[in-house]
């Protein structure tokens, strides 16, 4: 396990980057263009690669491989969360120039929640190794469920959720349009706005998402530092990735199947490796094999989606 100095350095790095993001680079509410979003996405990916090189230099080859695999798992599964963001913003009619602000504060909450989830998960595994079977079975179930899920996005209505109904019961909420703050004061009383409601839903979706992604990364590494940093780097780049891909997400038709395959494979890996460990067998599905499967599934799904779209465009042009 790494020393406290690495943790302090990473926390300082995250605070500095988030401060620059909010108070320097995005202090005004503007629409992030696709080209700008792609450059920011490349920037965050570049930072993750640089950090991975640092992990290799200071912590060795194995930790670097664990970070890279964990980062790719988290980044690929994060794409599925982008679909949810698109539906949420669309339902509440949040203008594009204000979406970055909500996503920023959503990330602050995600950073805290991930820390709690990761340390709790590592503690559980260290205390009860059989928890790996539960995590693995849950990922297999989630992957299969995602594969056969036929839910129609058109019927998505976050106001039907029990959580929001409970929140509206105990807190005053105004549905007044064109309010771009989280709270407003009317008649000497404070009201939560749709902005704050959207933030709550974003946080809730990340909480649900973390239930899948964190066990998946724990299949790669039990080191809290590696698991947490790979998670945070993926989350930090999620906003830019959202603006870069939001306009073309609907064209990645086969991506859902790749994500379902990744979750199912990782679940099988967790159960298989734990079984071999307990039985004393010298067998395991390595992180290198996992990396190959993840990259292959994502590549195949993207290429297949592009070919499908090209075929559709060709048929239309004819």
For residues 257 and 226, give the distance between their C-alpha atoms in angstroms, rounded to a whole number: 27
The first and second tokens of residue 284, run together, are 């395991």
| Residue 19 domain-assigned (yes or no) | no
In a domain, 121, yes or no: yes
Tell me how long the chain is.
Answer: 318
Encode pLDDT of 133-150 as tens digits.
888 888 888 888 877 776
Structure tokens at 45: 């990916």
Give the pLDDT score at 51. 93
Q: Specify the pLDDT at position 292.
A: 87
Contacts of 308 (CB under 8 A, 6+ apart): 253, 254
Q: Does some domain include residue 4?
A: no
Number of domains in the chain: 1
Q: Tell me how far apart the alpha carbons of residues 15 and 318 are, in angstroms, rounded to a whole number.
A: 54
Angle at 282 between CA 280 and CA 283, to 5 degrees: 115
Which tokens in the block code for residue 198?
A: 């959207």
* Residue 15 within any structural domain of the chain: no
80, part of any domain: yes
- Domain hosting 213: range is 25-317
Backbone phi and psi for residue 186, each to the nearest 5 degrees, phi listed first = -135, 130
Q: What pLDDT, on a 0 to 100 scale, did the predictor assign at position 317?
A: 45
Whether residue 166 is contained in a domain is answered as: yes
Residues 52, 63: Cα–Cα separation, whole Å: 9
CB-CB contact of 243 with 32 (8 Å): yes
20 domain-assigned: no
pLDDT at 229: 92
Asked if the structure places residue 8 within a domain, the reply is no
Distance, CA of 70 to chain centre = 12
């Amino acid at each position: 396990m790494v020393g406290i100095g690495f943790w302090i350095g990473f926390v300082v790095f995250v605070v500095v980057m988030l401060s620059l993001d909010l108070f320097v680079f995005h202090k005004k509410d503007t629409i992030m263009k696709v080209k700008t979003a792609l450059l920011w996405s490349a920037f965050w990916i570049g930072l993750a690669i640089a950090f991975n090189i640092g992990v290799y230099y200071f912590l060795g080859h194995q930790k670097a491989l664990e970070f890279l695999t964990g980062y790719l798992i988290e980044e690929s599964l994060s794409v599925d969360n982008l679909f949810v963001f698109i539906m949420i913003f669309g339902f509440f009619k949040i203008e594009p120039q204000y979406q970055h602000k909500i996503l920023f504060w959503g990330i602050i909450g995600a950073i805290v929640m991930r820390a709690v989830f990761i340390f709790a998960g590592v503690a559980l595994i260290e205390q009860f190794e059989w928890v790996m079977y539960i995590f693995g079975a849950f990922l297999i179930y989630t992957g299969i469920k995602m594969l056969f899920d036929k839910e129609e996005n058109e019927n998505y209505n976050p106001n039907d959720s029990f959580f929001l109904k409970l929140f509206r019961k105990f807190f005053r909420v105004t549905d007044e349009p064109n309010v771009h703050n989280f709270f407003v004061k009317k008649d000497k009383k404070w009201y939560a706005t749709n902005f704050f409601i959207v933030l709550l839903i974003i946080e809730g979706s990340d909480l649900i998402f973390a239930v899948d992604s964190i066990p998946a990364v724990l299949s790669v590494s039990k080191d809290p530092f590696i698991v947490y940093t790979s998670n945070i780097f993926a989350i930090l780049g999620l906003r830019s990735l959202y603006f870069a891909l939001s306009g073309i997400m609907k064209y990645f038709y086969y991506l859902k199947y790749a994500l379902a395959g990744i979750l199912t494979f990782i679940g099988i890996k967790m159960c298989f490796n734990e079984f071999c460990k307990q039985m004393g067998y010298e067998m395991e599905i390595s992180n290198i094999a996992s990396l190959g499967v993840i990259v292959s599934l994502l590549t195949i799904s993207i290429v297949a989606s592009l070919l499908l779209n090209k075929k559709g465009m060709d048929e239309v042009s004819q």
